[in-house]
């Protein structure tokens, strides 16, 4: 049987009340006594029964999820996953609330974070906009002892406890290698469609992509990045334009959202030329395009996993428990026609 608080009390030769004071860092225990109890805890290998503890506390973890109010398919999917978690929340003793903030607006995000310092939830998850004011606001929360995890996009130099998202440099590198290999030894131009170079994940993907292209596929040259602001219409216009002007384009890498517009542009031009295309994020549109051959591969991060992982990590931090690292690593999914879920 697992040792209980009673066993600690017996082993340390103190009363249950004292053990409780030590375990829950309540005041009123002399230093020597505290040490004695802590030794006993270590020696008999006591671990708190979290289920029983939460039952006793009547505790519910109140978490806040901050998501950008942006309306591309990926963010909709992320929102849906958070909602699914909310639906499950009573069963898991969690009380999850979402907070929408304007996309790409560091000031609004920082303000929202500061509001939470007063509310003091048991944990905060956010899709970070990579700016100093956001970093500082996050660090203030962390200093206040509130667990914080970033989701999808990380925050440079902050003290957030965890990042639930993919390695975007690796994602860009992978895209480059896939594109390069799929193109065989062909020479030509590669167009890159991004949302905005102001978001860290897009910057990193491009960085990885460019690095591998330069190292390994000298026959392919990257054209200046097209910034479509994750907007389908804008993406459509810009990509159509590029394809008309440059007929040396043989490959496309779409590293952000707004793929609906990209796909439309590709279909319009596909009559007279064959392009190899790698895109990010599996949505209804990209899935269809993959199946009909318009897109050759999709790189994806599973929003559901990210949300569940973020919640697990927040819970563990709130309980002072450790996490299984391998379990929380968010993987980069590569989808071809054949392995779609």
Residue 17 touches which of DNA, its own copies, none (CB < 5 to 8 A by kind)? Answer: DNA
Q: Which is nearer to its own copies, 230 or 281 (CB)?
A: 281
Please report how close the Cβ of residue 339 comes to DNA at its closest, in angstroms: 41
Q: What is the footprint of its own copies within residues 85-104 (CB under 8 A)? A: 88, 90-91, 93
Q: CA 175 to CA 159: how far, in whole Å?
A: 30
Compute the distance between CA of residue 325 and CA of residue 232 in angstroms, rounded to an integer.
Answer: 36
Please choose which of DNA, its own copies, none residue 28 contacts, taking the beta carbon within 5 to 8 angstroms, the exact cut-off set by kind. DNA
Sole window of 11-19, 111-119, 143-151, 327-335 interacting with its own copies (rule: CB under 8 A)? 327-335
Q: How far is CA 301 from CA 7, 14, 166, 314, in A?
A: 46, 52, 7, 20
Asked if 120 touches DNA (CB under 7 A), the answer is no
CB of 104 closer than 8 Å to CB of 199? yes
Site stretch for its own copies (CB under 8 A), options 15-23, 71-79, 192-200, 302-310: 302-310
19-58 binders of DNA (CB under 7 A): 20-21, 23-24, 27-30, 32-34, 46, 48-49, 52-53, 55-58
Q: How far is the CB of 324 from DNA (least distance, A)?
A: 21
Nearer to DNA, 15 or 244 (CB): 15
Closer by beta carbon to its own copies, 146 or else 149? 149
Stretch that binds its own copies, among 43-51, 148-156, 194-202, 224-232 (CB under 8 A): 43-51
Distance between CA atoms of residues 211 and 67, nearest Å: 31
Q: In whole angstroms, how close is the CB of 6 to DNA at the nearest point?
A: 7
80 touches, from its own copies, DNA, none (C-beta below 5 to 8 Å by class): none
**Binding-site size, DNA (CB under 7 A):** 31
What does 91 bind: DNA, its own copies, none (CB cut-off 5 to 8 Å by kind)?
its own copies
Considering only residues 167 through 186, tell me which ones interact with its own copies, judged by CB under 8 A: 167, 170-171, 173-174, 176-178, 181-182, 184-185
The verdict on 4 binding DNA (CB under 7 A) reads yes
Please write down the HEC assignment for all residues of the chain.
CCCCHHHHHHHHCCCHHHHHHHHCCCCCCCHHHHHHHHHHHHHHCCCCCHHHHHHHHCCCEEEEEEEECCCCHHHHHHHHHHHHHHHHCCCCCEEEEEEEECCCCHHHHHHHHHHHHHHCCCEEEECCCCCHHHHHHHHHHHHCCCCEEEECCCCCCCCCCEEECCCHHHHHHHHHHHHHHHCCCCCEEEEEEECCCCCHHHHHHHHHHHHHHHHHCCCEEECCCEECCCCHHHHHHHHHHHHHHCCCEEEEEECCCCHHHHHHHHHHHCCCCCCEEEEECCCHHHHHHHHCCCCCEEEECCHHHHHHHHHHHHHHHHHCCCCCHHHHCCCCEEECHHHCC
Q: According to the binding rule CB under 8 A, does residue 76 interact with its own copies?
A: no
Q: Should residue 304 be labelled a site residue for its own copies when binding is judged by CB under 8 A?
A: yes
CA distance 333 to 199: 21
Token pair listed for 94: 């969690």
Q: Confirm or reject binding of residue 2 to its own copies (CB under 8 A).
A: yes
Residues that bind its own copies (CB under 8 A): 2, 47, 49, 51-52, 54-55, 88, 90-91, 93, 167, 170-171, 173-174, 176-178, 181-182, 184-185, 208, 212, 296, 302, 304-305, 308, 324, 326-327, 329, 331-334, 336-339, 341
Residues that bind DNA (CB under 7 A): 1-2, 4-6, 13-18, 20-21, 23-24, 27-30, 32-34, 46, 48-49, 52-53, 55-58
């Amino acid at each position: 049987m697992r040792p209980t608080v009673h066993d600690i009390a017996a082993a340390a030769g103190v009363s249950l009340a004292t053990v409780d004071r030590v375990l829950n860092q309540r005041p009123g225990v002399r230093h020597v006594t505290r040490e004695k109890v802590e030794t006993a805890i270590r020696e008999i290998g006591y671990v708190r029964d979290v289920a029983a503890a939460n039952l006793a506390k009547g505790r519910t973890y109140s978490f806040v999820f901050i998501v950008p109010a942006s309306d591309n398919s990926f963010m909709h999917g992320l929102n849906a996953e958070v909602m699914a978690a909310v639906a499950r929340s009573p069963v898991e003793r969690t009380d999850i609330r979402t907070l929408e903030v304007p996309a790409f607006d560091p000031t609004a995000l920082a303000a929202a974070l500061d509001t939470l310092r007063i509310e003091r939830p048991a944990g905060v998850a956010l899709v970070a906009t990579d700016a100093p004011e956001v970093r500082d606001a996050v660090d203030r929360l962390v200093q206040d002892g509130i667990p914080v995890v970033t989701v999808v996009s990380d925050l440079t130099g902050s003290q957030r406890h965890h990042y639930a998202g993919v390695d975007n440099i690796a994602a860009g590198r992978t895209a480059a290698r896939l594109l390069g290999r799929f193109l065989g030894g062909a020479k030509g131009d590669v167009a890159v469609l991004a949302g905005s170079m102001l978001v860290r994940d897009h910057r990193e993907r491009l960085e990885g992509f460019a690095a591998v292209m330069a190292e390994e596929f000298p026959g392919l040259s990257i054209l200046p990045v097209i910034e479509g602001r994750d907007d389908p219409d804008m993406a459509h216009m810009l990509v159509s334009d590029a394809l008309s002007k440059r007929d040396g384009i043989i490959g496309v890498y779409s590293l952000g959202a707004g793929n609906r517009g990209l796909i439309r542009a590709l279909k319009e031009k596909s009559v007279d030329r064959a392009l190899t295309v790698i895109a990010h994020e599996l949505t209804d549109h990209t899935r269809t395009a993959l199946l009909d051959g318009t897109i050759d591969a999709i790189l994806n991060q599973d929003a559901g996993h990210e949300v569940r992982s973020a919640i697990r990590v927040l819970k563990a931090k709130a309980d002072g428990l450790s996490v299984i690292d391998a379990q929380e690593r968010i993987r980069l999914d590569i989808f071809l026609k054949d392995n779609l879920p």
